[in-house]
Amino acid sequence: MSDMFTLKTVSVTEELGIALKNFRISHRITGKRIIEEFGKSTSYLTKLEKGSIKKIDGLFLVQLCNYIEGSDNGLKLFLEKLSQDYSSYSNETKFAIMNIDDLLLEHSVSIDFISNINNYASKKNIAVADLVKEINANNDIADWEDFNTMPENIWYNKNFDIDAAAIKLVIPADYIENLLNGNVKSIHRVIAEVILYSLYKLGEEEHPHDKAYDELKLYGLLPTRIIKQMAQDNMKDTFEGLEPDMIVALQNIIDGFKFVLLAAKPYGTRRLKQISYNMNGDLGFSLAYMSMPIIELEKRDRPQKEKFLKELSELIKEYSKEDTGINIYE
């Protein structure tokens, strides 16, 4: 709960209450333990899990999910559970999930994220004051009939129309300055999005929203609800037509890449992007050298491994050339 944009109160619907109860039960946490841990009454917990309590404190939801999960990652895991059924929920529940996902869940601010913003702003001669002015103008929704009465810094539509969802952001200059100076350690997803979007608008990019979206993907700042849905939709296509042993092998590769991204996101991202670039350039050759029995290198020390990688990189540069079709290198 780090800054002024953190969601102070969370709207609770019947669907959200039931999901919270299922999350608790799936982790084998009794209602009695919740009552004792947080000093709540049996009646309160019952009403909460039925959605009869319409609003709860945002910090309490974070603490509750973390307690149920037994880690500081509880809210994210609860959101992942919600995201599995996101498309089936009512619009009111979707709005609640959007606000939790975008304005309660916190993401670490990476050095590369800040560096890229500063470099782009410097290159395009964009001052902090210009960026703040662009953000707070809310030009995309400023002509809406109810713009002046819209609440600030929260997803909103009075009729719970998802297609007309909007957020009127008011971000002070000192927040942006602190962020760009590396003094903000965590950020909410939608704040990161609007900063990038406004930055690229000022930079006169042809598609500022698409550019911002690609940047958000790079730093793992897409909404949880979208990531899970993409994973569910894409996985079926990815594995379709493959034999079971091939599916297992491919899943192990995906899990390995995921581990690298979670453990060292900027490093892992650069490596994966390079692998993707290599495969687009020469799929057959890329697969050939990636599938070499390099486990034998385990017997060598780190300098020998680094020397091997350097020599391999030089060979690839020397022998790579434009070609068409898929060649199988043995």
Among the residue ranges 104-108, 142-146, 167-171, 306-310, the one predicted with the least confidence is 306-310
The CA angle 37-105-55, to the nearest 5 degrees, is 60
Of 1 and 174, the structure prediction assigns the larger pLDDT to: 174
Burial class of residue 23 in the structure, from the number of CB atoms within 10 Å of its CB (0-12 exposed, 13-18 middle, 19+ buried): buried
pLDDT tens-place string over residues 218-275: 888 888 887 655 555 555 566 666 665 677 777 778 777 777 766 666 667 777 778 8
| Band of residue 181 on the pLDDT scale cut at 50, 70, 90 | very high
Give the pLDDT confidence score for residue 180 in this predicted structure: 95
Q: Which residues is 152 bridged to in the sheet?
A: 168
| CB of 161 closer than 8 Å to CB of 91 | yes
Global confidence as pTM = 0.69
**Which uninterrupted H or E stretch holds 179?**
helix 173-180
3-state SS assignment for residue 56 = strand
Residue 328 has pLDDT above 60, yes or no: no
pLDDT tens-place string over residues 185-199: 999 999 999 999 999
CA pair distance 287, 262, nearest whole angstrom: 24
| CB of 168 closer than 8 Å to CB of 150 | yes
pLDDT tens-place string over residues 3-47: 789 999 999 999 999 999 999 999 999 999 999 999 999 999 999
Q: Dig out the tokens for 306 from the structure.
A: 């680094």
Domains annotated for the chain, with CATH where assigned, are 9-105 (1.10.260), 107-223 (no CATH), 225-319 (no CATH)
Residue 184 has pLDDT above 60, yes or no: yes
| CB of 79 closer than 8 Å to CB of 233 | no
